[in-house]
Amino acid sequence: MANRLKPLPHAVWQAEQARIVLAAARRVDWRRMSPKEQVNYLFSVQGPLPVIDAHFGEDSALAEFYRHCAHEKTGEQRDRCAALLRGLAAKRSTLLWRPELAPALAAVADFQRHGCRELADWQPRSRNPFRQLESLVRHLFDQYGDVPAWIINSWTAGRLFDGLNIADLTVHLGRGGALRTFHRLPVKLTRKVEHHLRLAPAGYTFLQALRYAQLAARGLPEWLGPVLDSRLGRRLERDDEFWLRVVEFFAAAPMVDPYQLGPVCDWIHRKRSVGIGDEPAQPGFSLKGRSMQSVLEQTAKWHRQLAKEAHRQPDNEPAHGTTWEPLPVQDFTGGSKCKVRITQLLSYWDLIDEGRALRHCVASYLGACQRGRSGIFSLTLDGSRALTLEVQANRTVVQARGLLNRRLNEEELGWVQRWAADNRLLIPKHLFG
């Protein structure tokens, strides 16, 4: 294992650089080739990725297709990918060469042998490459035409591993299988939940569709926004049924702000997994016998404690200087005299400072930032902190909170939308509410 971490010998490094220069010198203008010749050209080269990038050109569509359809593939896998791309080339499909669709086409090639129809019988009816991909997936894998729209949309949105293997699920449902019998579901489904899961809106991720179905089955569809805005909209907890009972606890309480669900869920998670203050963790903690008023008061008290504790560093806490690699999302400035700034926070101290200023528990996202699951961004207006944003690794903005966990206002939403558009980030509808 240690040998893998050693730097390359200088002679090896020089040889690698020479290969890169030679590959760049041999680069040809592949766009002048016919589609079939382009596919043959793609699979005619081999080598490490730096050499391939030099051969095809920086940021080339062919280089991206090579990464997903040829690099580190077995001979059989390369042949399947080549056959699919040749078939698409023969039909003059606009799926070639869209680099963002390369992973999806590689998955189509991997699962094509399990399809219900032949590629030769497919005819694209639109010039739009994303609609062509939807049509191709339905043609190859959807025998009865009833695979849910949100699953098909996951192919075009690049969410093929969205809590489960979307391609595998598509093949299972396309053959007439039931959702609840899919062998890799992270939770068990009742028939009622399965029914609503099939009806989930097209743009939803698997987790969003699951939450939609679980709430619809309980007669609580109006709670979808607050649920997706909480930790329940970002991950499946081990004791998922318990967390759904927390939602029912809120729904049964009169005159309570639904968006207090998020802070309360954070408080409960802390109480069950780590403990609060000098209390040990209480894995069996429940809301039985508790009033909504007492739960909200204890949540607010915990947030006040977090703000005070941010000034000191307990022995078991990570160092304030702890840092991590940023998500590949650019910062943003806008307005006259840079009135608005959106900046990624990249140290534990930054999280603490943000949480102390806006009086929320963003410092608890240290682990998610270190593992690359989330990125935390701070929006300032005229130099003052106004909003904290969480972006997940799938480039979705999942949280936007201001002072004391308030929702974002219209002005802030406008700036967040501009920043998201610049970075091609997805903003779920519940964030607007």
Instruction: For residues 253 and 336, state if they share a domain.
Output: no
Could you tell me the residue range of the domain that residue 50 belongs to? 10-141
* Of 250, 263, 199, residue with least CA distance to 407: 263
Residue-level pLDDT at 49: 84
How many C-alpha atoms does 425 have within 13 Å on its Cβ side? 27
Same structural domain for residues 300 and 353?
A: no
26 shares a domain with 76: yes
Tokens of 68: 């997903």
Asked if the bond preceding 97 is cis, omega within 30° of 0, the reply is yes
Q: Give pLDDT, residue 204.
A: 92
pLDDT of residue 5: 52
Q: Is residue 426 part of a domain?
A: yes
By CB atoms closer than 10 A (0-12, 13-18, 19+), residue 406 is middle
**Per-residue confidence of the chain (433 residues) as pLDDT tens digits?**
445 455 657 666 656 665 666 555 566 677 788 999 999 999 998 888 888 888 887 678 899 999 999 999 999 999 999 999 999 999 999 999 999 999 999 999 999 999 999 999 999 999 999 999 999 999 999 999 999 999 999 999 989 998 899 999 999 999 999 999 998 899 999 999 999 999 999 989 999 999 999 999 999 998 998 999 899 998 898 899 999 999 999 999 877 878 789 889 999 999 999 998 889 999 999 999 999 989 988 998 888 787 666 555 444 455 667 899 999 999 999 988 889 999 999 998 999 889 888 877 787 778 789 888 889 999 999 999 999 999 988 888 988 888 877 888 999 999 999 999 999 898 887 776 5
In a domain, 179, yes or no: no
155 is a domain residue: no
My answer on whether 16 and 115 are in the same domain is yes
Residues 19, 130: one domain? Answer: yes
Asked if residue 278 and residue 343 are part of one domain, the reply reads no
Report CA 265 to chain centroid distance, whole Å: 21
Contact 339, 382 (CB under 8 A): yes
Q: What is the pLDDT of residue 22?
A: 59
Domain membership of residue 357 (yes or no) is yes
216, 221, 225, 228 alpha-carbon torsion, rounded to 10°: -10
Give me the number of domains the chain comprises.
3
Residues 403 and 364 in one domain: yes
- Assess whether 406 and 343 both reside in one domain: yes
Residue 147 belongs to some domain of the structure:
no
Where does a domain end: 108, 141, 174? 141
* DSSP assignment letter at 426: B
In a domain, 213, yes or no: no
- Which CATH number covers residue 370? 3.40.630.30
Burial (CB < 10 A; 0-12, 13-18, 19+), residue 197, is buried
pLDDT at 363: 76
**Residue 384 shares a structural domain with residue 295:** no
- pTM assigned to the model: 0.75
